[in-house]
Amino acid sequence: MLFLFIAIPLAVASILPLLGKISKRVLPDLLGNLTLVFLLGYTLWIGKELSQAGGIVQRLEWLGEPLAIVLVLDGFSHLMLFTVSSVALCVTLFSIDYMKHYGEKVPYYALFLMMIAGMNGLLLSPDIFGIFLFLELSAIASYGLVAYGLGHDELEASFKYLMLSAVASGFVLLAIVLLFGLTGSLALGDIAMGLRALPPSPLVWVCVAFFVMGFGLKAAIVPFHAWLPDAHPSAPASISAMLSGLLIKVSGIYALTRLLFNVFGVTPTLSTVLLYLGTLSMVVGAFLALGQNDIKRMLAYSSISQIGYILLGLGAGNPLGLLGGLFHIMNHAMAKALLFLDSGSIERATGTRDLQKMGGLASRMPLTAATSVVGSLSIAGVPPLNGFWSKLLIILGLIEAKHYGFALIAILASVLTLWYYLVIQRKAFFGKLNEIWRGVVEAPFWMSASTVILALGCIGIGIFFSPMLKTWISPAVEILYGGTVHALNFLGL
């Protein structure tokens, strides 16, 4: 029952304000976390059915009558569902203690679950307008969550995010209108079929360009990244983790990848565009991260840089590159969520995000320091952590595709990444303890527990990368490598 992935978070979010009247403290935490536990469990359970069938198409019925609700699950969307539900569960666990100082939790969890419902709907919809609608649902929920602190910075960042996101939505909607005009359908499979039958037309390239601009803005690919360094640091740490770890990947990278690979079909020109955009994001993001003193801002720029790696893997276009690119989506989601949650623990304990004011915190917050080291080394691509394997696969994919220059830049950018993450570690956790932090204590139980789970995830996936690749990533690669044929056979309705 794929519809549960959308209906359950929507239903729980809708009744939360009513149930929140009964218990304002315990019930929102309980319901929020139980919903994510259910979604994660259901994602794992449905994986068995998926592996046997190769794909699931569900047509909903009401009292024996068919409804126009069709949802589709394949290897690619299953990988993303797993990433969303596992990381989101860690974030909701973290929120139990962290959100206490933000006042009422009911609107927070309601918006959080709406965002999850939007992402799940986007992942399961085989219809381009459905994708757009659920993209908007997750985006609207995220505007409210970015502004949740209600301070000047939060409101300004949320407004900026809203404005640029509206521009992105405009581009996406315009491209959808053009595609509908060209093919007469909104179903992904039918569009793929319609585009095949069309004679070469510049209008198709206009559509692709609008999608790249629209989803590029959502994914914060350079040069469409201006909103991210403001929005992500200003939000509560749990929401920064969701935005940087998941939302930019689902609403930007997943949607773009699905359309380019399964609907339009990747051409050498398109691969080159992805390679150049990826390199630009990777290098610009890394250099901008290097100059930051605000820990969350540095992490936000790092997200731009890591999105570049994912694009490079996808742009390589061969199975190895795709394997690395998709694996990096999952690995970066876990490691970046971990680092943002750690930054939340630090900010909560010290009241600052300024790295210059920190120092020696490892002695006061050993768990936060240890998990932060794991997250940093993972993103920097240090073996045997998960980030190492995905970056290695991306670079091998580039070499196999004879893109030696891009491979070299990826290696150099990785060194740069390691550099600025070591800067974070040195300035925040190591060296002499700043006297004003002598009273600082470790983060509360749930905050520490969630970061420990994510850190163990980074280590575990790194050690058991081979079964992970076989179980989760390879089926997704097959879908993308299948190109438009997959859409014609599976996504056509």
Partner 1 sequence: MGQSMYIFLLVGFVGFAILAIFLRDLLKAAISLAFSSIFLAMIFFHMKAYYVGVFEISVVAGLITVLFIATIGLTKGQGDVKERKIPLVIFPLFFIAFLFLDVVIMNALKTQMAVLSGKPEVPHFPQVLWGFRTLDLVGQIGVIFAGVFAVLALFRKGGTHE
Residues that bind partner 1 (CB under 8 A): 6-7, 10, 13-14, 17, 60, 67-71, 101-104, 106-108, 110-111, 114-115, 117-118, 121, 125, 127, 129-130, 133-134, 136-137, 140-141, 143-145, 147-151, 154, 178, 180-184, 194, 201-203, 206, 236
Helix (H) or strand (E) holding 323: helix 319-350
In angstroms, give the least distance from the CB of 70 to partner 1.
7
Q: Are strands 65-73 and 56-62 parallel, antiparallel or unpaired?
A: antiparallel
Instruction: Measure the CA–CA gap between 214 and 172, rounded to whole angstroms.
Output: 5
The candidate with the shortest Cα–Cα distance to 420, out of 322, 292, 325, is 292
CA atoms within 13 A on the CB side of 174: 18
Smallest gap, in angstroms, from Cβ of residue 144 to partner 1?
3
To partner 1, the closest distance from the beta carbon of 354 in angstroms equals 16
Phi/psi of residue 244, each to 5°? -75, -35
Minimum CB distance to partner 1, residue 75 (Å): 22
Whether the CB-CB separation of 278 and 309 falls below 8 Å is answered with yes
For residues 216 and 141, give the distance between their C-alpha atoms in angstroms, rounded to a whole number. Answer: 20
Shortest gap between Cβ of 136 and partner 1 (angstroms)?
Answer: 6
Closer to partner 1 at the Cβ: 27 or 182?
A: 182
- Give the DSSP H or E segment for 60: strand 56-62
- Of 111 and 469, nearer to partner 1 (C-beta) is 111
Q: Which is nearer to partner 1, 114 or 447 (CB)?
A: 114
Q: How far is the CB of 53 from partner 1 (least distance, A)?
A: 21
Write down the least CB distance from residue 336 to partner 1, Å.
Answer: 22
Give the residue with the Cβ less far from partner 1, 12 or 373.
12
Task: Please name the amino acid found at residue 209.
Answer: A
Q: Alpha-carbon distance 85 to 27, whole Å?
A: 20
Q: What angle do CA 100, 103, 108 make, to 5 degrees?
A: 85
Angle between helices 295-316 and 404-428 (to 10 degrees): 160
Strands (E), 110-213: none
**Which residues are within 8 A (CB) of 159 and not within 5 positions of it... i.e. 6 or more apart?**
147
Reading the block at residue 105, the tokens are: 């939790």
Nearer to partner 1, 92 or 474 (CB): 92
- Supply the minimum distance, in Å, between the C-beta of residue 47 and partner 1: 23
- 69, amino acid identity: I
Give me the phi and psi of 309, to 5 degrees please: -60, -45
Shortest Å, Cβ 67 to partner 1: 5
Return the number of the residue (6 or 401) whose C-beta is nearest partner 1.
Answer: 6
Q: Which is nearer to partner 1, 6 or 330 (CB)?
A: 6
Radius of gyration of the chain from its Cα atoms, rounded to whole angstroms: 21
Other C-beta atoms lying within 10 Å of the C-beta of residue 436: 12
Shortest Cβ 168–partner 1 spacing (Å): 16
Closest among 80, 149, 74 to 120, alpha carbons compared: 80
Decide whether 135 or 365 has the Cβ nearer to partner 1.
135
Query: Residue 71 or residue 447: which is nearer to partner 1 going by CB?
Result: 71
Cβ-based nearer residue to partner 1, 121 or 308: 121
Residue the block writes with tokens 């890591």 = 306
